[in-house]
Amino acid sequence: MSFDRKHIKCILWKTLWGLAFIALILAWIGARSATGTIFTLDAGLLIYTSMILGILSIPLKLDCADCPTCGKR
């Protein structure tokens, strides 16, 4: 399996999306806590982090045309 540019973009897109999802879940847990924080991070900061990571992943996914790695044709 060769690591060409599209494969690296696909891995980066999936990583950014996964981190955005984890940040969103942590923000939800932090918002439900009594202090409004989780791991000393404010829930608002985690929400913004989730949005930024999600927005950064969009152009990488849109560039994925005819990619054998993610199966999009």
- pLDDT tens across 28-66, in order? 888 877 777 777 778 888 889 899 998 988 887 777 666
Residue 68 — very low, low, confident or very high, per pLDDT cuts 50/70/90?
low
Q: Are 14 and 58 in contact (CB under 8 A)?
A: no
pLDDT over 90 at 20, yes or no: yes
Beta strand ranges found along 1-73 (DSSP E): 37-38, 41-42
Structural element, H or E, at residue 38: strand 37-38
